[in-house]
Amino acid sequence: PATHDSVAPGVPYPISVEFFPAKTPEGADKLRAVRQQLYALGPQFCSVTYGAGGSTQEGTFAAVRDILAEGQSAASHFSCIGATRDSVRAELAQLQAMGVQRLVALRGDLPSGYGVGGEFQYASDLVAFIRAETGSSFHIEVAAYPEVHPQARSPEADLQAFATKVRAGADSAITQYFFNADAYFRFVDDAQRLGLQVPIVPGIMPILGATQLMRFSDACGAEIPRWLRLRLQGFGDDTASIRAFGLDVITTLCEQLRRGGAPALHFYTMNQSAATLEICRRLGLRD
C-alpha cells in the first residue's frame, strides 16, 4: 500500500466508536459514563448495534436517542434478517423522526433455531430498500470482511457481495475486526480495482481478554494469528498483562493502518472506555 497520511495536517484523524445497548438500567448508567469519557476523543459518530430479528430494537433506539441528546452524531445499526418491508419502513420512519442521519445496514445473524423468514435476504436488499424509501436522507454504512465472511462461497463471491451493497447505495464501509493489516490493504485494493470508491474504515477491536476474544473471533471469522494466540494463551488468567500486551499490539496495528492510508478508525469499544482512550492517546490522536 501507499505510505501516506490520509488526513491533512491540522485536521483531526477521524475516529468513531461503537456500543451495544445496555440490558439493565444500571448498565445504561454505566454506558452513559463510558460515552462521556469517549466523547473527549471527538468521535465523528457513535454507533449502536442492533440485535438481529429486532431483539434489541428498543434498547438500540434508546441509546441512539441518548447519544443525540448528548449532542453527538449517532448511527443506528439496522439488521434486516427476519424483517418485513412494512417493519423496516416503520422503523426507518421512527429513526428519521428521532433525527438519525446515519445507519449501519446489515443482514444480521439470527440465533440458531430461528427460521430465516422475512422479506430481505442480504444486506444489499436492505440498502436498496432504504435508498428507494428514503432517498439520500441517511448516510449508509455497510460491513466489509477483509478476511472473508464465514458464510461466503469464496473470497471472490464475498467481494462481489460487497460490491453489490456499495452499488445499491452504500456511502462507506466498516470492516469486521482483524489483526492482519495486509488483509485490509488487499481488500481495499481489490475493492478499488472493481471501481468502488467508498471509504473502507477498519474496525478495531481492543484486546480486553483472551478467552472471549478467541471464542468471538472463531464465530465471526476473524483470524487470530498463531503468534498472537500463543502469546495470549501464555498469559493465562493474568488479565493485566493481556491488556498491556493488547494495547501494544493494537496500537501498532492502528499505526500501520493509518500510515497505509486507512481513512479513519472505528473502535469496537465493548462498552468500555479505557483501552480505546489509551490507544488513541498513544496514537497521538487526542491529548
Query: For residues 129 and 120, what is the distance between their CA atoms, to the nearest angstrom?
Result: 9
Q: How many CB atoms are located within 10 Å of the residue 142 CB?
A: 27
Q: How many CB atoms are located within 10 Å of the residue 184 CB?
A: 24
Q: Which of 104, 128, 170, 181 binds ligand FAD (CB under 6 A)?
A: 104
* CB neighbour class for 162 (10 Å; exposed up to 12, middle 13-18, buried from 19): buried
Q: Which residues contact 27 (CB under 8 A, 6 or more apart)?
A: 271
Residue pointed to by grid coordinates 455497510: 142
Q: Which is nearer to ligand FAD, 53 or 260 (CB)?
A: 53
Query: For residues 63 and 9, what is the distance between their CA atoms, to the nearest angstrom?
Result: 34
Residue 102 contacts ligand FAD per CB under 6 A: no
How many residues bind ligand FAD (CB under 6 A)? The answer is: 26
Residue 79 contacts ligand FAD per CB under 6 A: yes
Q: Which is nearer to ligand FAD, 169 or 245 (CB)?
A: 169
Residue 192 contacts ligand FAD per CB under 6 A: no
Residue 161 contacts ligand FAD per CB under 6 A: yes
Angle of helix 123-134 relative to helix 85-98, nearest 10 degrees, comes to: 60
Site string for ligand FAD, 107-136 (x = CB under 6 A): xxx------------xxx------------
Helix H segments across 70-122? 85-98
- Residues catalogued as catalytic: 18
3-state secondary structure of 235: coil
| Closest distance to ligand FAD from the beta carbon of 122 (Å) | 3
3-state secondary structure of 220: helix
Q: Which stretch binds ligand FAD (CB under 6 A): 1-9, 25-33, 66-74, 151-159?
A: 151-159
Residue 267 contacts ligand FAD per CB under 6 A: no
Query: For residues 277 and 287, what is the distance between their CA atoms, to the nearest angstrom?
Result: 10
Q: Which is nearer to ligand FAD, 123 or 242 (CB)?
A: 123
| Closest distance to ligand FAD from the beta carbon of 234 (Å) | 29
Q: Which stretch binds ligand FAD (CB under 6 A): 5-13, 34-42, 157-165, 257-265?
A: 157-165
Q: Which of 152, 208, 274, 283 binds ligand FAD (CB under 6 A)?
A: 152
Residue 147 contacts ligand FAD per CB under 6 A: no
Residue 50 contacts ligand FAD per CB under 6 A: yes
Q: Which is nearer to ligand FAD, 149 or 258 (CB)?
A: 149
DSSP for 9-31, please give it: TTSPPPEEEEE---SSHHHHHHH
What ranges make up the beta strands (E) of 49-98? Answer: 74-79
Residues contributing to the site for ligand FAD (CB under 6 A):
49-52, 77, 79, 104, 106-109, 122-124, 143, 149, 151-152, 157-158, 161, 164-165, 174, 176, 203
